[in-house]
Amino acid sequence: MHLTHNDLDAVGGDAIHRMRYGNVTSIFCSVGKFPSALNAVAAVEGNGSVLSISDLGYQRGIEQRVRNVRAAGWQIEWRDHHRWSEEEIGLIADLCNLLRVDTSTCGCGICARDLLPGDEKAAEIARVVCDYDLWKHEDPRSAVLGVVLQRKKNRDYVRDRLAEGIISDDVIEQEYHDIVGDMEEKMTRSIRKTSILGKKYRIAFSPLYGYPSETAARIRKELSTDIEVLISRDGRFSLRSVPPISHLIAREYGGGGHPNAAGGNFNFSFLDRIRFLLLGSSSRFRDFVDMTETIG
């Protein structure tokens, strides 16, 4: 069984698992639903089977859920490229048959190196996936896959093609062109409703209608921002930053991620949601700015 995130990095990692093992039971989940996913696995007898976790980082208190999974008879292999403290590694390492934390590559990269060392197709898939996930943007194929996977319905198709060593085909290219128009419209809406706050950092707060990475990049280019906070109606947010502090900020909001890209949750109340939907603002934003400007 493979438990992983729900983005291109996760899809690439799942393809690597299928190249190595054949058919795999795959669970894609958001960072916020990771604890619930572990609870679901713990409710099933593992009987010595392997639960492979990838592209999901440590969360406060997650060790108890991991302990329950182990008690249910699962062997646990955990591969991740997010930032872990030594204390966090210590809390998890003894509960796993394998714990690999490597911030030098993406999650798919770790999977390819561990599961298919020396395999050229796996290495090529990892290079393309990491190009997008680590914001290198040197290979145009990665941007196409990243956009196509903004639509959940494309996940299995892209995964299956990657498992075959195919990075692009007519279906993927057509889906990309179909999405671009919608993406442009939604990015324009986000930018139009963006608020800029902060002194030390120029911080953009914007409603998220879709395509978080692409929207953040457009905001940074057009508004010369240092930090972009893209907020869904329920208060969950995607965070991008020029200074390498995204993961530190996100941890203050129940999330995590990378130094330049992360996610968290404002945990909006009902009134917060109404205010945000009507006015595009929240009292939480000022607290966010004050906290952020004490970091770094």
User: What is the rounded average pLDDT for all residues in the chain?
Assistant: 95
The tens digit of pLDDT for each residue in 146-202 reads: 999 989 999 999 999 999 999 999 999 999 999 998 999 999 999 999 999 999 999
Contact 147, 212 (CB under 8 A): no
Residue at 64: amino acid letter: Q
Tokens of 270: 């009902």
Q: Which domains does the chain have, with CATH numbers?
A: 2-168 (3.40.50), 186-292 (3.10.310.30)
Model confidence at 292: pLDDT above 90: yes
Indicate the burial class of 60 (C-beta count within 10 angstroms; 0-12, 13-18, 19 or more): exposed
The tens digit of pLDDT for each residue in 106-150 reads: 999 999 999 999 999 999 999 999 999 998 889 999 999 999 998
Long-range contacts of 267-275 (CB under 8 A, 24+ apart): 267/235, 268/233, 268/234, 268/235, 272/235, 273/233, 273/234, 273/235
Model confidence at 256: pLDDT above 90: no
The tens digit of pLDDT for each residue in 19-61 reads: 999 999 999 999 889 999 999 999 999 999 999 999 999 998 9
Q: What's the pLDDT score for residue 296?
A: 66
Model confidence at 219: pLDDT above 90: yes
What phi and psi values does residue 81 have, to the nearest 5 degrees?
-120, 10
The residue-averaged pLDDT of 202-223 equals: 95
Indicate the burial class of 177 (C-beta count within 10 angstroms; 0-12, 13-18, 19 or more): exposed
Q: What's the pLDDT score for residue 187?
A: 96
If phi > 0 it is left, if psi is from -120 to 50 it is alpha, else beta; for residue 191 that is: alpha
Q: What's the pLDDT score for residue 137?
A: 87
The tens digit of pLDDT for each residue in 82-105 reads: 989 999 999 999 999 999 999 999
